[in-house]
């Protein structure tokens, strides 16, 4: 069963990107690209070879491979549909967050390795955002750990679903707010970064992968799709109260909830303007503030 869950994650992740694009297209009055477009793109890119610049070292080639494998390993740790995740042990949340960090670190290194000034700019911005996003994620997770008294992802989500909502909903709302901002940042979604822009001066994530092509680009596209899924399921697992109707029904509800999340992200992208680049750290500081508040409230407790 757990193996099937992992396969579901790996197979369904690119589908969500199609949902977002269709939502955006609908609100723009366009027809939009097919809902399975990312699958076609990845297939097309996998058939191609890669062209490498003469200035690069092994770091550039390792970049996409390491980040994709880090993200897939993180997917093994994330629970799905109320079930225990494939790999689950005490303290796996720290491994989870650092795997995401490792993936980002190698993307940044690969970008710097090209020697292009635009990629250096993108790398600098990505790291600047991560400086605020990572502590925010850590502190929100710390608040969840304080709340539940458990230190593995599966147990945390299970306990939250069963007992914490009634008593500690203010804390959970704060945590959700912080994690949602981090989620948008990490997946380079609209208030922070525009996935569709191709103007080098304003790109953040896209500019870092500008010099990758062929198989490498396929890895990167697929990696960001899986990353969207795992961080999204972080949010969905907190909100969704699993009923344990049966394995199949649970999974189906979870997948539906993920689709709704993708739809909400599409809505946000259609109606929110992108923030000015200088304002983005401010948004992330808001996330940090929310997570600190949540953590403090768990220490103080309610009556």
Partner 1 sequence: MILLIDLIIVAIVLMNLMMLSSSRIRTCIRIVAVEGILVGLVPIIADINSITFSAIISSFFNITLKGFVFPWLLYRAAQEANIRKEVEPIGGYALSLLLGVILFLIATWLSTRLLYVKPLFSNIVVSVSFATFFTGVLIIVSRTKAITQVLGYIVLENGIYLFGVSLLAEQHLLVELAILLDIFVAVFVMGIAIFHISREFDHIDTHNLSELKDWIKLKQE
Q: What does the alpha-carbon distance between residue 188 and residue 179 come to, in Å, rounded to a whole number?
A: 14
Q: Which stretch binds partner 1 (CB under 8 A): 154-162, 258-266, 267-275, 285-293?
A: 285-293
Among residues 71 and 293, whose Cβ is nearest to partner 1? 293
Q: By CB under 8 A, is residue 271 in contact with partner 1? A: no
Smallest distance, partner 1 to C-beta of residue 22, A: 34
> Which residue is it, tokens 């909830």?
257
Q: Restricting to residues 43-62, which ones interact with partner 1 according to CB under 8 A? A: none
Q: By CB under 8 A, is residue 201 in contact with partner 1? A: no
Residue 6 makes CB contacts below 8 A (sequence gap 6+) with 75, 76, 86
Print burial letters for 36-57: b (CB count within 10 Å at least 16), e (below 16). Answer: eebbebbeebeeeeeeeeeeee
CB of 150 within 8 A of CB of 162? no
* Stretch 149-168: interaction string toward partner 1, x if CB under 8 A: -----------------xx-
Dihedral (C-alpha) 141, 143, 147, 148: value to the nearest 10 degrees?
20
CB of 232 within 8 A of CB of 245? no
Binds partner 1 by CB under 8 A, chosen from 1, 54, 58, 303: 303
Binds partner 1 by CB under 8 A, chosen from 20, 176, 179, 292: 292
Binds partner 1 by CB under 8 A, chosen from 169, 198, 244, 249: 169
Binds partner 1 by CB under 8 A, chosen from 44, 48, 244, 282: 282
Smallest distance, partner 1 to C-beta of residue 188, A: 21
Residue 228 makes CB contacts below 8 A (sequence gap 6+) with 13, 16, 17, 187, 262
Sites of contact with partner 1 (CB under 8 A): 166-167, 169-170, 173-174, 281-282, 285-286, 288-289, 292-293, 296-297, 299-303
């Amino acid at each position: 069963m757990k193996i099937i869950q992992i396969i579901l994650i790996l197979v369904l992740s690119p589908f969500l990107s199609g949902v977002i694009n269709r939502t955006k297209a609908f609100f723009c009055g366009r027809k939009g690209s097919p809902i399975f477009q990312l699958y076609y793109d990845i297939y097309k890119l996998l058939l191609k070879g890669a062209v490498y610049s003469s200035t690069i070292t092994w770091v550039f080639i390792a970049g996409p491979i390491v980040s994709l494998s880090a993200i897939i390993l993180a997917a093994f740790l994330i629970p799905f549909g109320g079930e225990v995740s494939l790999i689950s042990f005490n303290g796996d949340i720290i491994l989870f967050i650092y795997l995401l960090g490792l993936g980002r670190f190698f993307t940044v290194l690969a970008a710097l390795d090209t020697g292009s000034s635009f990629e250096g700019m993108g790398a600098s911005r990505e790291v600047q955002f991560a400086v605020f996003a990572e502590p925010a994620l850590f502190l929100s997770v710390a608040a969840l750990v304080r709340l539940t008294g458990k230190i593995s992802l599966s147990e945390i989500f299970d306990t939250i679903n069963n007992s914490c909502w009634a008593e500690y909903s203010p804390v959970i709302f704060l945590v959700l707010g912080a994690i949602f901002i981090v989620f948008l940042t990490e997946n380079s979604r609209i208030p922070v970064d525009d996935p569709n822009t191709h103007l080098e001066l304003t790109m953040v994530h896209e500019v870092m992968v500008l010099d990758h092509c062929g198989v490498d680009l396929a890895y990167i596209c697929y990696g960001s799709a899986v990353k969207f899924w795992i961080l999204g399921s972080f949010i969905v697992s907190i909100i969704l109260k699993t009923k344990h109707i049966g394995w199949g029904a649970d999974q189906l509800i979870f997948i539906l909830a993920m689709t709704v999340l993708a739809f909400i992200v599409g809505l946000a992208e259609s109606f929110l303007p992108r923030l000015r680049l200088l304002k983005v750290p401010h948004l992330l500081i808001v996330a940090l503030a929310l997570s600190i508040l949540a953590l403090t409230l768990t220490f103080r407790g309610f009556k």
